[in-house]
Structure 1
Amino acid sequence: MCAGKPTGAETTDCDGNRPAGPPETVVSANRAALCSTLPGLTVDTVTDRYRTLLLLRHAKSDYPTGVADHERPLAPRGKREAGLAGDWLRANAPAIDAVLCSTATRTRETLARTRVEAPVDYLDRLYDATPGAVIEEINRVGPDVETLLVIGHEPTMSALALGLAAAEDSNNTAAERISTKFPTSAIAVLRTGEPWDQLTLSGAALVGFHVPR
């Protein structure tokens, strides 16, 4: 188990060190790109003063006969859109330091298709989880993690995004879109000034929402 990284049932791709990220000039460019693609963001919104939380719903899944819900794989469309989600994250979000992922097959396959390279905890608890349970897992994340990706399911992802978002600081357009629908492969972007172990409901700002298509 890696010190200072999320704890969970299964950990991979972890050597005890923070993964190498892009040069600072690239990170700055990515922040500017995020601001240009998500209405309501400014460069000051995504800075080193804040931690970034990315909530990704799994991509479109298939429904094979006789396959239990937990084991359902991605559909062909889902495989394509998970790749698009990964492309968007690399182009627009800060470098991801750690991932919390449900153990369901469709969430695992979504992560694989994004080609995100960061230490991963696969957690049974994130399958059919309540928003409170997800927050408890986020609270376990170490202080060296600046950008965290959580891959899960509906209706948890939308409830979590809206529950964490402090209304006065959040992007109302993004909140309205999430209230209407949090589609497969969609990504909610939140930022918080709180350490992970102190994050609670209304402890973050919803700064954007993107649906890769």
Structure 2
Amino acid sequence: MSATNQSRTLLLMRHAKSGYPDGVADHDRPLADRGNREAPLAGEWIRAHAPEVEAVLCSTATRTRQTLAKTGIEAPTEFLDELYDATPGTVLAAINGVGDDVRTLLVVGHEPTTSSLALGLAGPGGDPDAAAEIAAKFPTSAIAVLHTDIRWADLELGGATLVAFHVAR
């Protein structure tokens, strides 16, 4: 693994609460009223507690796109089909493709992948309470915050420090 002198922040966010309208495919499910209320709160928390987001990777599912839009976070965004119904390894591969110029990256995805990836990336020395909360449940609109000094291309399991976990409510 190559280290750099520059710290990077990875924000792993689960989409906001979605609805279950009849006859709508899972990929196309929209946000529920609660999700429409909570996604802006998640955006406010990110702006108050993390460095400015410089890039976003987002699943193509309707609920993830709507979540990102409702956060009010504006950064160059890649909407990736492979982030829908992804494994943690698929999401990590997408993160590994982010350029070195990006210091703060937001990934908007789904469960159970988001919690598995957050816990998998978390190496020693992180916040044990945050890890316990993530292990118990990664609710909708929740955000795991990880720091690393490793280039995105070289990030692997255990290569980051879990520093916070927040559920926007």
Q: Distance in 2 between matches of 1:114 and 1:139?
A: 24
Equivalent of 1:84 in 14, 26, 41: 41
Q: Give how far 1:49 is off.
A: 3.3
**SS at 1:85's partner residue?**
helix
**SS at 1:133's partner residue?**
helix
- Judging by fraction of residues, say which structure has more strand: 2
Identify the structure with bigger relative contact order (alpha carbons < 8 Å, sequence gap 6+). 2
1:109 aligns with 2:66: yes
- Cα-Cα RMSD: 0.8
- Name 2:112's counterpart in structure 1: 155
Aligned residues: 165
Would you identify which runs of 4 or more consecutive aligned residues in structure 1 move more than 4 Å? none
> Which stretches in structure 1 are left out of the alignment for 5+ residues?
1-47
TM (normalized to structure 1)?
Answer: 0.77
Equivalent of 1:135 in 64, 89, 92: 92
Q: Distance in 1 between matches of 2:98 and 2:119?
A: 21
Alignment of 1:20-99 (within 5 A): 49-99=6-56
Q: Distance in 1 between matches of 2:50 and 2:126?
A: 17
Q: Rg: which structure is higher?
A: 1
TM (normalized to structure 2)?
Answer: 0.96
**SS at 2:164's partner residue?**
strand
Q: Distance in 1 between matches of 2:47 and 2:157?
A: 28
> Which stretches in structure 2 are left out of the alignment for 5+ residues?
none
- Name 1:170's counterpart in structure 2: 126
1:116-166 deviation line (CA, Å, top 9, x unaligned): 010000000000000000010001000000000000000000000000000
